[in-house]
């Protein structure tokens, strides 16, 4: 076995590109997933001169996808100036889609199976798939199977007017019927995360994102799309006073104890992102920058259905495992990118890592992972300000963090992304 094991080589993040994220039913309401992901790829290809190249793979996905988009990413590739001989495939892992797509691609590079690849994701809730009702679908399927006029009439006779109501995708967990926000409200309360703390985190996200735009941080990470050049959800002029006026949007069953508002929760957003990865040899051969190494990634899932764990707490578990595997402590990082699905998710995760009981009972650790330096958290803003087009968030974070590490010239960054279904993916990047 051992003599067959190949040496593992670094997977390098070369750069990234995304389109600005736009609030749902706004600037991108007529754009499809294919349009947006193609735009993100076009910008990346232009920035790094990839025209005509056959890459090892393009791996991306969308959470909300039309059934006609069964080969979404391949269709996007065919619409770009990449070589048509570039293979592509779709990945789906809810909000961790982008992280899984990029991480698996990095693994293939590390193993020497491919030398280059693009990972990313896209989502739209404005051009979301709407399905016919189960009743109408059953009638249509039986009709297509019917061979005789009698059988066809019998199938049609089962149609009821109420079957005309369409099925729109929801953000509810199928097994519990609770929305993601209502699930997070349970966790937010369990960890005693206050409204004030959530609003402060949301404000910091907007301020940090605005400051990053101010210093042109995104200039080489973004291509304008449909007349938009900045994330439309960003509110640089937000304030704690304004945020404090918002009424609870989730966990309303908690009455006066409800703390989660539209201000400290991410809005539905449209957008796309893409990240170029390669081996060191590939980057050198094509004279491309090397921003950071994609060191490792880890997925976790929690037992949320009967409430043993919080729906969005899987990254807390994944971080404990990835730290152990890489022989690192939680404090060994210069940047922490914790996806802000809700401010409560970030704050509950931080609280859990500091909690001796949680770390012992849930993570099996002798000592808590401890606190982080909050000044290193989401320093260029995160999803509360930028928005969160589900599958596009991983690519946004990986590209931004790689650039931050490269700017600093040393150190490590930790990424944590939670996802529906009680899942999460975390990753470690290292500066080059």
Indicate which residues carry an active-site annotation.
Answer: 95, 388, 418
| Phi, psi for residue 337 in degrees, rounded to 5 | -110, 95
Return the number of the residue (168 or 240) whose C-beta is nearest other proteins: 168
Structure tokens at 235: 């509110």
Nearest Cα to Cα of residue 208 among 383, 412, 378, 20: 378
By C-alpha distance, which of 425, 379, 346, 429 is closest to 16? 429
Least distance in Å: CB of 183 to other proteins? 9
Tell me whether residue 73 or residue 178 sits nearer to other proteins (CB atom).
178
Look at residues 43, 380, 431, 395 and name the one whose alpha carbon lies nearest to residue 217.
Answer: 380
Question: Minimum Å distance from CB 193 to other proteins?
Answer: 15
Q: Rounded to an integer, what distance in angstroms lies between the CA atom of residue 34 and that of residue 412?
A: 33
363, 320 Cβ separation under 8 angstroms:
yes
Instruction: Rank residues 304 and 333 by Cβ distance to other proteins and give the closer one.
Output: 304
Please enumerate in sequence order all residues whose Cβ is within 8 A of that of 29, keeping only pairs 6 or more positions apart, or say none.
Answer: 126, 127, 270
Q: How far is the CB of 365 from other proteins (least distance, A)?
A: 23
- The DSSP result for 259-316, as a single string, is -EESSSBPPBEEEEEEEEEE-HHHHHHTT----EEEEEEEEEE--TTTTSS-TT-HHH
Note the residues at the interface with other proteins (CB under 8 A).
134, 174-178, 182, 186, 253, 305-308
Question: Tokens representing 422?
Answer: 């009680």
Least distance from other proteins to the Cβ atom of residue 185, Å: 10
Complex with other proteins: residue 177 or 409, whichever CB lies closer: 177
Looking at residue 254, what DSSP letter applies?
Answer: G
Which DSSP letter does residue 116 get? E
Minimum separation from the CB atom of position 363 to other proteins (A): 19
Give yes or no for a contact between 341 and 387, defined as CB atoms under 8 angstroms apart. Answer: no
Helix/strand number for the chain, H first, E second: 14, 12
Q: Which is nearer to other proteins, 227 or 255 (CB)?
A: 255
**Minimum gap (Å) between residue 303 Cβ and other proteins:** 8
Nearer CB in complex with other proteins: 117/251: 251
């Amino acid at each position: 076995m051992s003599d067959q094991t190949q040496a593992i080589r670094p997977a390098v993040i070369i750069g990234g590109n995304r389109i600005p994220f736009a609030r749902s039913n706004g600037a991108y309401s007529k754009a499809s997933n294919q349009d947006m992901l193609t735009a993100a790829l076009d910008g990346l290809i232009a920035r790094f001169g990839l025209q005509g190249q056959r890459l090892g793979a393009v791996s991306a996905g969308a959470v909300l996808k039309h059934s006609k988009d069964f080969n979404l990413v391949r269709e996007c590739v065919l619409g770009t100036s990449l070589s048509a001989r570039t293979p592509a495939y779709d990945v789906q892992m809810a909000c961790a889609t982008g992280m899984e797509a990029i991480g698996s691609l990095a693994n293939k590079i590390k193993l020497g199976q491919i030398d280059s690849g693009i990972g990313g994701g896209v989502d739209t809730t404005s051009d979301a798939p709407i399905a016919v009702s189960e009743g109408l679908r059953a009638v249509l399927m039986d009709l297509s199977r019917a061979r005789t006029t009698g059988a066809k009439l019998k199938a049609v006779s089962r149609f009821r007017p109420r079957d005309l109501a369409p099925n729109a995708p929801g953000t509810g967990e199928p097994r519990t019927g609770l929305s993601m926000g209502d699930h997070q409200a349970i966790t937010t309360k369990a960890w005693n995360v206050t409204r004030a703390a959530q609003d402060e985190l949301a404000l910091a996200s907007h301020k940090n994102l605005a400051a990053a735009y101010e210093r042109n941080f995104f200039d080489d990470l973004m291509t304008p799309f449909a007349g938009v050049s900045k994330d439309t959800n960003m509110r640089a002029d937000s304030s704690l006073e304004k945020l404090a006026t918002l009424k609870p949007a989730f966990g309303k069953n908690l009455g006066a104890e409800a703390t989660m508002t539209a201000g400290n929760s991410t809005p539905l957003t449209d957008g796309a992102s893409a990240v170029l990865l390669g081996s060191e040899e590939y980057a050198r051969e094509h004279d491309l920058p090397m921003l950071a190494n994609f060191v490792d990634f880890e997925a976790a899932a929690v037992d949320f259905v009967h409430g043993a764990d919080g729906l969005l707490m899987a990254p807390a578990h994944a971080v404990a495992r990835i730290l152990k595997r890489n022989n690192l402590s939680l404090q060994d990082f210069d940047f922490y990118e914790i996806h802000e699905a809700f401010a409560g998710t970030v704050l509950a995760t931080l609280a859990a890592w500091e909690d001796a009981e949680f770390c012992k009972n849930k993570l099996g650790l002798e000592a808590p992972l401890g606190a982080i330096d909050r000044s290193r958290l989401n320093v260029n803003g995160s999803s509360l300000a930028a928005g969160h087009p589900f599958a596009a968030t991983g690519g946004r974070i990986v590209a931004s963090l790689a650039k931050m590490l490269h700017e600093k010239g040393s150190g490590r960054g930790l990424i944590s992304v939670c996802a529906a279904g009680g899942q999460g993916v975390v990753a470690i990047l290292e500066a080059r």
